[in-house]
Amino acid sequence: MGKYFGTDGIRGPVGKPPLTPEGVTALGRAASEWVIADAPDEPAIVIGRDTRASSDWMSAMLAATGTAMGLEVRDLGVETTPGVAAETKGRGAALGIMVTASHNPYTDNGVKLFGADGFKLPDAAQASIEAAMDEAGRGSAPAGRLGRLDRMSGSRFYEKALQAAATADALEGLRIVVDCAHGAASPRARGWLEQLGARIETLGLNPDGVNINAGCGATHPEALAERVVASQAYAGIAFDGDADRLVMVDESGRIVDGDQLIALIATDWHRSGRLKGGGVAATVMSNLGLEHHLSGLGLKLERTRVGDRHVVQAMREAGYNLGGEQSGHLVMLDATTTGDGLMAALEVLRIARKDARPFSQVSRVFEAVPQKLVNIRYDNGDPLETASVQNAIRTASYGLGNTGRVFVRKSGTEPLIRVMAEATDTEALDAALHKVVTAIESASQR
C-alpha cells in the first residue's frame, strides 16, 4: 500500500486527507496529468459515483479539475463500479474514475481508477499518480484549450454486456429478493432482473445519501435473509454500495458467500468445457474447503493478495477466466474486467435453474472448513510489528500444523487488523484465534 492508495484505490473518512477539497483537487490534477502524458490526442475520462452524500461534490471537483486541465469529461452520474469499467473501455476513454467507498459507511468515500482497457490501474500507474498528488503541478490548460463536460444518460456498453450474459426469459418465474444496499445498483437492478422474467421484491432501494450499506446489502444480509424466508422466495441477492460484490441467500435464509458461488460456477464451467486455464484465482482468505473441492476436480486454486485487483492480475497472468473473493467479488473475464455483482448473480441463477433442486442444495457445493474472522480496530502504531504478536502468530500456526492455518493482515481500507483462522478441529481453531487476538489487543493498547 502507498501513502494514499490501499487495497482497492483510495478510501477513508471524508474530511481527512486526501478526501478533502484540496486532496480531491490534487488527485484530479495528478490523474489528469497522467492521462495527458500517456494518452493519445484529445483524451477523455469517464466519472461515475455511488449514492453517498459526499460523492456529489467529489465527482464534481474531479470533473471540474479534468476539464480545467483540457480533458473531455463524461459524467455518468450514479453508476456501479463494473458499469464505470465497461463505459471507460466502450467509450474509448483514457481513464475511468469511480467515486465510492464500496461497502464502507457513508462517512467514508474514495476513488477507484480504471485504465483504457477497463481494468483497474496497475501499481506503477497508481504510484505515479500518488507521487504527483504531492507536487505542485500545472494549474490548467492554456486558454482556448479547456476541456468540456458531457453529462451522459444511460450506460449503453454495460447494458450490452448484460444483454449478452442472459436471454430474455433467463429467470422466468423465479421469485427473487434483491437488496441494493441503497447504493449504485438502485436505479438498475430491479428493472433488469424483471426484464429477464423474475418476480422481484426489493430492499435497500431508496438512497438518501446517508443510508448506503446501513444495516443492509452484502455486508449486512440479515434483513434479506428474513425477507427471503417470509416471501418463500427461491433466493436472495445482496449487492454492496458500488455493486461490485455479491452475497446470496438461499430459501432457508442461509447466507451463501463468494467461495460457494465460485465453486458453483467453476464446477459448471469445468464440466461444460468453458473454464479456462485449468484453475481459479482467489485470495488468501478463501476457505480450504474451496481448495479441496477444486483439487478434486483436477483444478488449481491460485491464491493472491486480498483485493479483486490482485485476483484479476493473477487471472490474466495464468489465463483463467474465473476468480474472486470470499467476500463476494466475482470476476468473469469473458464478460467483465472487475468484480460485478449483477453479472455474477445472473450467472449463478442461470446455472441454478438447470438444477431442479432448491437453491440451498444447489449452492452448497462443498463442506467449508470451520473458519472464523475477527476484526480488531487500532488507532496508533503497528501492533503487527511487535515481537509478542509475531510470536503469537508463529505459535498459533505451528499448533495447527497441516490441519488449518492462521492469516493476519491489516485492512487496506479501514484501521483494522483482520485475523482469520480455520481448522478442521474447532477447539484448536478457537485456541489459535484467541492466542493471536489477545496478543494484538494487548499490543494495540500500549
The residue from 32, 59, 102, 286 that is catalytic is 102
Question: What is the pLDDT, as a whole number, of residue 445?
Answer: 78
Domain boundaries defined on the chain: 5-155, 172-254, 258-362, 371-444
385 contacts: CB under 8 Å, gap ≥ 6: none
Catalytic status, residue 102: yes
CATH code for the domain defined by 371-444: 3.30.310.50
Q: Give the CATH class of 5-155.
A: alpha beta
Q: Residues 172-254: name the CATH superfamily.
A: Alpha-D-Glucose-1,6-Bisphosphate, subunit A, domain 3 (3.40.120.10)
Residue 115 contacts residue 46 (beta carbons within 8 Å): no
Question: What is the pLDDT, as a whole number, of residue 40?
Answer: 66
Taking only the tens of pLDDT, the chain with its 446 residues reads 688 998 889 999 999 999 999 999 999 999 999 998 877 677 899 999 999 999 999 999 999 999 999 899 999 999 999 999 999 999 999 999 999 999 999 999 999 999 999 999 999 999 999 999 998 776 666 656 678 898 876 678 998 888 888 876 788 889 999 999 999 999 888 888 998 899 999 999 999 999 999 999 999 999 999 999 999 999 999 999 999 999 999 999 999 999 999 999 999 999 999 999 999 999 999 999 999 999 999 999 999 998 889 999 999 999 999 999 999 999 999 999 999 999 999 999 999 999 989 999 999 999 999 999 999 998 877 899 999 999 999 999 999 988 889 999 888 777 889 999 999 999 999 999 999 999 999 988 76
Alpha-carbon span 48 to 153, nearest angstrom: 11
Alpha-carbon span 116 to 37, nearest angstrom: 14
Q: Take residue 285 and report the three cell numbers written for it.
A: 482468505
Q: Compute the Cα dihedral for 410, 413, 416, 418 and give only its sign.
A: negative
Alpha-carbon span 115 to 30, nearest angstrom: 15
Rounded to the nearest angstrom, the gap between the alpha carbon of residue 310 and the centroid of all alpha carbons in its chain is: 11
- Cα 105 to Cα 1, 257, 339, 440, 446: the distances in Å are 22, 21, 20, 25, 28
Alpha-carbon span 67 to 44, nearest angstrom: 9
Residue 431 contacts residue 399 (beta carbons within 8 Å): yes
Question: What is the pLDDT, as a whole number, of residue 38?
Answer: 77
Question: Does domain 258-362 correspond to CATH entry 3.40.120.10?
Answer: yes
Q: Residue holding cell 482469520?
A: 420
Q: Do domains 5-155 and 172-254 have the same CATH topology?
A: yes
Question: What is the pLDDT, as a whole number, of residue 446?
Answer: 67
